[in-house]
Amino acid sequence: MNDCISESYIRDAVGQGKCLSVRRFDCLPSTNRFLCEKAKRGMPEGLVVIAEHQTEGYGRYGRAFCSPEGTGLYMSILLRPEGTPEISLLITTAAAVAVSEAIEELTGRRCGIKWVNDLILDGKKVCGILTEGALCADSARLDYAVLGIGINVTEPIGGFPAEIRDVAGALLEAPEAGFRNRLATAILHRFFEYYRQLEKRTFFDGYRQRLFFLGKQVSILRTGQEIAKAIALDVDRDFRLLVRYDDGRVEALSSGEIGIKT
């Protein structure tokens, strides 16, 4: 089954002006780390890097992200948005909607979003999104942002590692010819549409509609440790999660993560 990733296919399908270049690697320690180094050396916005395999893939708080060869889409995009670090949350949420829409188009299955950056399919995590950035040396504005997207397209041979087997899922039961090329193209097309008008938040409704846990009890986590329980009420226009604690107090969370009991 030929599901090889093609630089030329993705670049041509997305179209000129949306991403400057696409580079594919057989293996990288981390696509995000690779682009962060390029960004520090002045690489302009628009470089997309895709690896068949990552040896040191990671997510939030440096957690390892399983990236076996040939079974996933491990992609990072170099961006140079104008704004303060808070715009990183808009990049992450825009990407979550773009990836969800692409998955839904190609698989016919509805994606859920677990605030703020995980995509859920049939109760299992199939995608993680991580935006990293750095400030300009002489101001509080962003110098660059690197958007990383890791998707489990199929399960690796032998299944996922034991430590994530109960929570990780995949888009397909078996490889499908050209699927990862079509998936990457669909994601990039949608993401850049949203990115060009990021401040308008045109993806807000799409994000909110996919939050499957609203109205339910969640665990509020900091660096993976539970600090409180609350009811998830909604998200505001800045994508902060509104929660209500047992004492009636309402808080808008702009960072951290949540645990959901299924």
pLDDT at 99: 98
Average pLDDT rounded to a whole number, residues 122-148? 92
pLDDT category at 74 given cuts 50, 70, 90 is: very high
Q: How many angstroms separate the CA atoms of 195 and 207, rounded?
A: 14
Q: Containing H/E element for 33?
A: helix 31-40
Q: Containing H/E element for 182?
A: helix 179-195
Average pLDDT rounded to a whole number, residues 128-145? 90
184-203 pLDDT, tens digit each: 999 999 999 999 999 999 99
What does the buried/exposed string (b/e) look like for 58-82 if buried means 16 or more CB atoms within 10 Å of the residue's CB? bbbeeeebbbbebbbbbbbbbbebe
Query: And the tokens for 154?
Result: 């199929």
pLDDT category at 151 given cuts 50, 70, 90 is: very high
Average pLDDT rounded to a whole number, residues 25-31? 96
pLDDT at 140: 85
pLDDT at 256: 80
pLDDT at 18: 52
- Average pLDDT of the chain? 92
More confident residue, 12 or 17: 12
pLDDT at 1: 56
86-107 pLDDT, tens digit each: 899 999 999 999 999 999 999 9
Q: How many angstroms separate the CA atoms of 81 and 198, rounded?
A: 9
158-189 pLDDT, tens digit each: 899 988 999 999 999 999 999 999 999 999 99
Nearest CA-CA partner of 66 in 165, 187, 176, 145:
165
Average pLDDT rounded to a whole number, residues 150-154? 96
pLDDT at 17: 54
CB of 169 within 8 A of CB of 126?
Answer: yes
Conformational region of residue 32, where left means phi above 0, alpha means psi within -120 to 50, and beta covers everything else: alpha
